[in-house]
Structure formats: C-alpha cells, structure tokens
Structure 1
Amino acid sequence: MTASLPDNTLDKGVLLVLGSGDKAFSSYCLAAAATRSPLVLVAEAEPTWQLPYLRDHEVADLGDLEELRWAVARLADRHEIKGVVTWDEHALVPAAHIATDLAVPGQSSATATACRNKAASRAVWVSEGVPSAQSIRVTSLVTATTAARRIGLPVVIKPAARTGGVGVVRVDRLDELPAAFAYASASAEDQGPEGSGILVEELLEGPEIGVECVTSHGITTAVAVTRTELAGPHFQAVGHIVAAGDPLLAEVGPIAEAALDALGVNSAISHVEMRLTTAGPKLLEVNARIGGDLVGHLINLATGIDLAAAAVDIALGREPDLTPTRAAAAGIRLLHPAGSGTVRAAKPRPELGTPDWLERLVWELRPGQQALLPPRGDLGTARLGHLVVTGADAAQVHERLAHAEGLLDIAVDPQPTIG
C-alpha cells in the first residue's frame, strides 16, 4: 500500500514524524498524515506496519536529544524537512527542540515542558485566573501527608508528567496514603525529564470531559467535546463519546482556549481535560497533541473534522480545514476485565454479526495472555480490547456500545499471585 498524495504536496519537501505510536490506536494518524505530505519517521524501533506510509526513516532514542538530533541530521542530508509533528506524549518536548533546530513551525520547548508538567501548568493557570484543581507538588510521604491535610480528603495522587491515568490513585483516608504514594512514585520513575515529583490534588467531583482544540498561528478553535467514562480508584478510562454539535462546547471551549493561551500554545492539536463540577468546569491537564484512545478518529467519524490532517497542516505552516462535514456521533468502549488474571476467552458471539454501525472490534490481549489491572499493571496491560460504534446521536451510541459489549464472551481466570 502506498499513500495517495495530492499533486501539490509532491516534491515539496517532507514532514518529519517523531514516534508513530501503537498501531491499533495511532495508525489512523499516520495514514491521514501520509495523504497530506511525504513522511519521514524517527522511531525507537525499526518500522514494520508504518513502512507503506514512509519515504524514509531512522531509529533513535526519542528521549536522548543528542541521539535524536543526529538521526534527524541524517534524514536532513537526504530530504528537505519542512515540518515536525508528533502524537507521542513523550516526544512533545523533543519535537519542540527539533522544530527550533530546523526553523520550522512548532512550540517552544518551554511551552511543551509546561504542558507536560502538570505542576507547571497549575502554577500558570493560578497566576492567570484559569479555573483548575488545587494541587501541591510533593517529594516525600511526609510532604504528601501535609498536602493531603491542607487540601482535605479525598485527594488524588499522581505523577507530575504522566498521562492515560498511569500512576493515578484516589485516597480517601490518610492510612491509604503510603501505598498510594509508593504506587505513584513507581510510575513517576520514567515520566521523563519534564516531570518532577508527585502531585497531591483536590478531588474534583463531576463528569470528566476532553475539549479538542486546534491552535494555528496563536489562534485556538475548540472543535469538539469528548465525554469520558471513568472507573475505579485509578480513574481508568473505559469509554469516550463524541457528538457533533454538543451544546457543552460553547461553555467549555473558552476555558480550554484560555488554558492553552496561558501556557503559550501557538501551534498544536490539544486535548484539554476538565471536570464539570458544581462550581463550574475546572481544568485537570492539557495534552498538547491529539487525544489518545482514538479520540481523533471519533471526532472524524462524528463531525468529519480530521485532526491528524490538521496537525500536518499546522506543522507545515498551512491553515487547517476545520469545516464539519458530518452531524453524527461515535464512541469507543475500552474493554477491561473485572480483575487481573489469565485471559481464557475473548471473542464476539455470532449474534453480534457485522452491523454497519460497528466500526471496529479489536482484541489487544488473546487467550493465554495475562491481564494486569492497576496497581499490578497499567494502561498497557489492563485492556483486553476495544470497540468503536457510530450513531445518529450520543444516546444511540450509548445503546450500541452496551449492546455490542453485551455480546462479547470474555473470561479471565484470577491468579492472585501474579505481578
């Protein structure tokens, strides 16, 4: 397979992609990017499924800026690099450095770092009067205990620079704090140089949402709302729904725009997370890239807006097309077992069939593999699979997600001693 390019993109340089992500959740980004520009890739392993979309590639440790710069230099010797893009959270700061090196559009490394580090984001929002959760950065169990008492239980403990719920845990009583702090600290060990310590945060009660934003030349447009369903004390995302024309966008869009403006974001696709509290929407964090869990794909299915293509256009200094072409809804169910163990069964029942509204059903773990939920495991070990459905509106998507999930045969044999 070779990506089809518009005539006006040929022989006009290449777009550098840093990290390609997981095939199941990121291949749509690479596929869309390849229709907008010839691509070259720097990844941490030799590409496989990515090859049909690429003109060239290099292998390097994205966390080692010197090694990454040498890999980019080798590509620059062979191609004219016109822009840099990434949808890999851990590559955001390296991408900012590389964009500066190449004198192409991109964030400053200071802005990318502030987006990655939740403690830095909070400090900026407090100074700018943007509503967010009360948060205190700590470096020890003693200071975490003091912070929890000051904020008031229940609180949330999390690493300063992790995403996807990794290392996040709710604490309702002080005697739960030692185990929670140890859990968050273990996850913080590889949070990257942008992270620093652990955060003790106010628990915001209310539904969680994401506001999907496109910032081009310093102007932010909020294009969609993602409504997220969470489960358990580790706040695992178990589903997301996007509906075109969500009336909530008018209320939360300006808050997301203010949060990005305060951080200095001038050219990015961003997934801005917040909670809808009784005191109004309050910010949780900014992810200065396309939202995970196929959120960008859901937005395309529901509205026709292609965030991956928009990311390419922004990286190349072009104005993105944010015109909605659909008025529908789409949702994803992230399938988790009730507890950790060995997968015995993971398959659909025949009566599910292949309805046109079932956009995909993907198994991430197979029989015989282990599913490890937090605190034993994390996002990469806990999920059995995912399914995506479409519908006329959010209510129909809810119904179809429940219907499809009810027709899956899933069995996990508990193994209390694993992990």
Structure 2
Amino acid sequence: MSERPLLLLVGIGYEPHRGYLLRSIAQTTDVWLLDHEPVTWEAPYVIGGTAVDIRDGAALLAAAEDVARSRHVDGVLCWDELKMANTARVAQRLGLPGVSPDVIDRCRDKHRTRTLLAAAGVPQPRSILVGSPAAAGEAADRIGYPVVLKPRALGASMGVTLVGRPDELPAAYDHTRAQHVDQARYYDAGVLVEQYADGPEYSVDSAVVDGVVTPLFLARKTSGFPPYFEEVGHVVAGADPLLADPELRRHLAMAHEALGFDSGMTHIELRRTPTGWSVIEVNCRLGGDLIPFLGLEATGVDAGQIAAAVACGRTPRLTGDPDRAVAAVRFFYPDTAIVVGEVRIDKSMLPPGTVLAAPLAEPGTEVAPPPVGHVWGRYAMVVVRGTSIGECQARLATAAAAVSLRPR
C-alpha cells in the first residue's frame, strides 16, 4: 500500500464553495480530477485530470477505467449530489470502497427515504407523495396545516415551501412542481406533502466506516425568505453539547442502517421539535454551504481529508479539538432581481475574527432572491470565527456593513 493513495475526484463544483476541500485533500492524497473542463486553477493540487462530461455515466466510467489502466486507483469521491449515482457506478466497476447506486437512490429519492425510515421507526415528519394539486390538497387536509411541500428529487432546500392555509396550496404546489435541475430524475408523482416539524434546524456531517457512524460536527442553520427555506447561514460550535446528545446519535445510526448506508460521508438535516428530534432529509455526500469549512475552523476536524481516506479504504483521523472555536457563515442576497455591476468588500470595515469575505457573483450576472433565485442568487459570503455563537453572530452583523452590491 503506497503512502499516498490515488483518488479519482468527480467534479469540483463552484470553486468558492468547494475549492477548499481539494486544497485540503491534496495534502494527504494524490488526486486525479474528472471534470467537465480541463484542469485550470486546480493544477497545483492534482497529479492529472481528464475533461469528460461527468453527467454522462458511460463517459465517466470510460474515463475512470482509462486512468485505472495505467495507475493504481485507491478510491473515487464526489460531493455533487447529482453525480453521486454515476460515481457509485465507477466505484462498483473498479472494485473501490463505497455504497451501491441503489443506496444512493434511497437517499436521492426522498419518497424512498421516507418509506425506509418509517419502516425502521426513525422519527420524521409524516409524508405523503402526490402527483397533482388536488391530491396535494387532500394530503394536506389529512396531515393538517401547516404543511411543507418538497420536490421528490432535489436538494439544498430548492422548491421547499411552507403552506399555512388551503388557499395558499395551489400556488405553492405549482412552484414546487416547477423546480428542476439537469440530471435530477423527473417523477410523475414528484411532490411530497409533509407535516411541518416546528423547531430549530440542524445538520450533522458524519463519516461512515464499515457501518459505524461517527458524527463529526453539527451546524445550526439559519433560514430566510419565508415561506421558502433558503439557507442563508450556518454556525458550527466546536463544543456544541447537542452533538453528544444520545438520542441524536441513536437516530443518526438508525437512519444510516435503514438506508443501508455503510461506507462514505453523509449530511443529515434534522429539526428539534417539542417532542424530540425529527429527521428532515438524508444526503449521501458532504454538507454544502461551506459547512465542512466551518467544521474545520471550529473543531479541527478535516472532513475533506476524512472523505478521501474513507473513499480510499484508509483509516481516517476522526478527532479534532472540540473546544477550539465557533465558526459561522452568512450569504448575501439582493432585495430584488438585479444585474451585478460590482460587489465591493471594504476590508477595513471587517471585524476581528473574519476568516473569509468574498464575492460570489461576477459583473454582468443577474442575481435575485427566492423564489426566483436560489444558491445562485447570492452575491457574497463572509465567514467569521469567535469564542461563542453570540460573538460570531455579532461579527457577521458588523461584517454586513463592509459588503455592498452596485447594480450595472
């Protein structure tokens, strides 16, 4: 076994959101990048790359096999939810660690997720699959308002809508049903009507090795733009007592077992209701929105390196410094749709503890708040560290004055 394993990395995604993972992984692992475009900024962190349409399963598999013919490949990794099934097929064909494509589908298809979790007794909102506005209305009447409408095959809270009254349901159904992204499966019955789980929302990123689930860090989510659930910020505390909650850990283990997820990384979203924890969804990948970056800043746990080690069948280092710090991110959205002229960040106005402050939209880009915009509606982000959640929130509020958006 070589000292540095060789990892096939399927796609980077948006560099400001995911580039830090590659930089971290490259410290311990040789990386061969499989992505849509030839290697550019990634060059210092990879030993090679293949330009291939990673949405095309057959093309991706052929590219991976081509690398494997001349090099010993130890693992394959992806953090793009829409490419996870193709990545699982590569792992299966090359005999690499990871779960099967069917296990990926159990997480990607939210109706399958709900069915399997229910059979295992995992606490979760009541959920009914529907294929028409009339069926959605009947389901909402059975569950009781308020309800949440959710697309069956999307992620990142896209299309998720809170409905408080029957007269709001038709428009909400049309909005949820209309949401789609390339490569996401389209279902005739494509909307879930769910009980609203009232309470603060959290997410937990976990590493799973031989069926053993190790929660790495917990993020507290801030949502905005009601009735939508746009994720506008997160905070991770190194010493968050909730991560040690026995009930939380038991439900996490139950969810993984119910779905048959025994190898890889997961990002599970939950709410803490008056009656206890409720699983909102299970994602078969690392968390997005810089949550692993916050985890590293707050705890010293490097989820990128852990993901690479697990993918390569190596023993990961799962511990950090639980008392290290608190880290938080805020994403900035315009009040209305606008074409970006310039995003300015006045560094002199940033507070102590600022780790990162960066534009997310190029000049000439149109950005908008939900429901038109989504993740791509953001124009800037700021990450801060502090000694407490309150201190981080105060620093983010101060940092907001340093960020300005000028229209074209």
TM-score (ref. length: structure 2): 0.93
Deviation digits for residues 46-74 of structure 1, max 9, x if unmatched?
33222222222223332322122111122
Shift of 1:350: 5.9
Residue 37 in structure 1 maps to residue 29 in structure 2: yes
| Alignment map for 1:287-298 (pairs within 5 Å) | 287-298=283-294
- Matching residue of 1:282: 278
Distance of 2:185 and 2:3 partners within structure 1:
36
Shift of 1:246: 0.6
Aligned amino acid, residue 387 of structure 1: V
- Matching residue of 1:200: 193
Q: What residue ranges of structure 2 are gaps of 5+ in the alignment?
A: none
Corresponding residue to 2:110 among 115, 118, 123: 118
Indicate if the aligned counterparts of 1:222 and 1:257 stay in contact, CA closer than 8 A.
no
- Matching residue of 2:205: 212
Q: How many residues align?
A: 403
Distance of 1:345 and 1:57 partners within structure 2:
33
Distance of aligned partners of 1:271 and 1:75 in 2 relative to their CA distance in 1, 3 Å threshold: same
- Matching residue of 1:4: none
- Matching residue of 1:416: none
For 2:107, what is the secondary structure of its paired residue?
helix
Mean Cα deviation higher: 162-171 or 232-241: 162-171
Indicate if the aligned counterparts of 2:206 and 2:216 stay in contact, CA closer than 8 A.
yes
Indicate if the aligned counterparts of 1:165 and 1:379 stay in contact, CA closer than 8 A.
no
Residue 141 in structure 1 maps to residue 133 in structure 2: yes
Deviation digits for residues 93-117 of structure 1, max 9, x if unmatched?
1111111111111012121111111
For 1:84, what is the secondary structure of its paired residue?
strand
Residue 182 in structure 1 maps to residue 151 in structure 2: no
For 2:315, what is the secondary structure of its paired residue?
coil
Indicate if the aligned counterparts of 1:159 and 1:191 stay in contact, CA closer than 8 A.
no
Distance of aligned partners of 1:323 and 1:350 in 2 relative to their CA distance in 1, 3 Å threshold: closer
Corresponding residue to 2:388 among 393, 407, 417: 393
Shift of 1:189: 6.0
Distance of 1:112 and 1:101 partners within structure 2:
15
Shift of 1:356: 5.0
| Alignment map for 1:92-103 (pairs within 5 Å) | 92-103=84-95
Corresponding residue to 2:231 among 231, 234, 237: 237
Residue 403 in structure 1 maps to residue 398 in structure 2: yes
Distance of aligned partners of 1:266 and 1:350 in 2 relative to their CA distance in 1, 3 Å threshold: closer
Indicate if the aligned counterparts of 2:235 and 2:328 stay in contact, CA closer than 8 A.
yes
TM-score (ref. length: structure 1): 0.91
Q: What residue ranges of structure 1 are gaps of 5+ in the alignment?
A: 1-6, 414-419
- Matching residue of 2:17: 25
Shift of 1:412: 5.9
Deviation digits for residues 319-356 of structure 1, max 9, x if unmatched?
11112135211000111122222346632346415x55
Share of identical aligned residues, percent? 34
- Matching residue of 2:344: 347
Indicate if the aligned counterparts of 1:188 and 1:197 stay in contact, CA closer than 8 A.
no
Indicate if the aligned counterparts of 2:349 and 2:401 stay in contact, CA closer than 8 A.
no
Distance of 2:288 and 2:387 partners within structure 1:
23
Mean Cα deviation higher: 307-316 or 249-258: 249-258
For 2:390, what is the secondary structure of its paired residue?
helix
